[in-house]
Structure 1
Amino acid sequence: MWTFMFFSSFGHKSHDLIVIFETKTKWSAKKRMKSMTRFEHLARWLLGITFLIGACNGFMFVLGFPPILPTDPEIVALYRGSDALLALHKSIELGCAVLLLRNRLILPALIILAPVVLGIVAVHAAFDPGFLPAAGLIFALEAYLLYVYGARSKGGPEWKRNSSKQDGKTGIRNTDLS
């Protein structure tokens, strides 16, 4: 808006003003997209680090060592006698945390973690309400990342008839190489 008012006082042509205003709008849109991707990366890293620390803490308990972080005795009592179940649970968390931190297969990792996150929220709502704000943050990060990465993959691969004469092959090919 300032650009329009500044140049209108000098009598420039109207199409020059539109180009200048559009350039400023595109720049702010790029800046807004850059900040959104920064927040996506921050959310992905925060969720990955949270699950990595939680998985390591659980494996310490499975291996018989004292956990690094404090745990609630009621929640630990749920896993008593079922070390295999806890090891499976923490293996899933560890694998998905590594995928999130390495920026690989993010949507499948988030889909696999969705029931785990719901379980975390449900267990802490029932047994440890003091941890509920942190569980809510984990739930919010998971929901946000599922929304963002789910919307990106909504279109799926694009299929079209490809009859390229260069390689001599014809037929339907997957043209989505991204």
Structure 2
Amino acid sequence: MNTVKRFAPSAARILLGLVFFVFGLNGFLQFLPQPPAPEAAVRFGAALAATGYMFPLIKGTEVVAGALLLSNRYVPLALALLAPIVVNIVAFHTFLTPPNPVAWLVLALEVYLAFAYRAAFRPMLAARVDAGAPASAGVERGKLRPVESAA
């Protein structure tokens, strides 16, 4: 295995983890200045803050998932937690602010890591698994297969 293939997932994991850990903490501590935003983006942020729970929930999830990625623990869980946040980041920077290439970089890192950890997601893609079945039920030699019911 060449060096790039060997270290690319780790580099992507650390970079994505840093982005979410730092910007998640910034949501609570405000140590990075906010750039000026268009009115629509300001209204969106104000609406999230007005709920009283959504903004802390999003930023808390970012901090936890970023820490998981940085520590190389529960990486597939962190990627699953971040997926809807990443989609919202891309949508926000596509529709409410001037285009931001960092949003697309975050999306690319998320998709790349999901592909790199695809074996961990494979059991979730089984069309039918009986309750209480082991996590590997429905997956055989890397391919999805139907699970036969005992009834």
TM-score, structure 2 normalization: 0.71
Maintained 8 Å contact 1:72/1:128? no
Higher mean displacement: 91-100 or 145-154:
145-154
Distance 1:82 1:71 in 2: 23
Matched, 1:40 2:4: no
AA partner of residue 142 (structure 1):
E
Partners in 2 of 1:125 and 1:78 — Cα distance? 18
Task: Report the AA paired with residue 106 of structure 2.
Answer: I
- Uncovered stretches (5+) of structure 2, i.e. residues with no partner: 124-134, 138-151
1:103 to 66, 69, 72: 72
**Which residue does the alignment assign to 2:113?**
145
The reply on whether 1:49 has 2:18 as its aligned counterpart is: yes
Residue equivalent to 2:130? none
User: Which amino acid letter does the alignment assign opposite residue 122 of structure 2?
Assistant: K
Distance 1:46 1:86 in 2: 23
Deviation at 1:153, TM superposition (A): 5.6
Question: Which amino acid is 1:69 matched to?
Answer: P
Mapped partners of 2:65, 2:120: distance in 1: 19
3-state DSSP class of the match of 1:129?
A: coil
CA distance in structure 2 between the aligned counterparts of 1:71 and 1:83, rounded to whole angstroms: 23
- Between 67-76 and 115-124, the greater mean CA deviation after superposition: 67-76
Letter in 2 for 1:143: V
TM-score, with normalisation over the residues of structure 1? Answer: 0.61
Residue in 2 aligned with 1:166? none
Q: CA deviation at 1:71?
A: 4.2
In 2, Cα distance between equivalents of 1:141 and 1:114: 11
1:128 to 97, 108, 125: 97
Larger Rg: 1
% of aligned pairs identical? 32
Question: Aligned-residue CA RMSD in angstroms?
Answer: 2.1
The answer (yes or no) to whether the contact 2:86–2:106 under 8 Å persists in 1 is yes
1:50-105 Cα offsets, whole Å, 9 max, x none, are 00111011112xxxxx5523245425334342332100111111110010000001
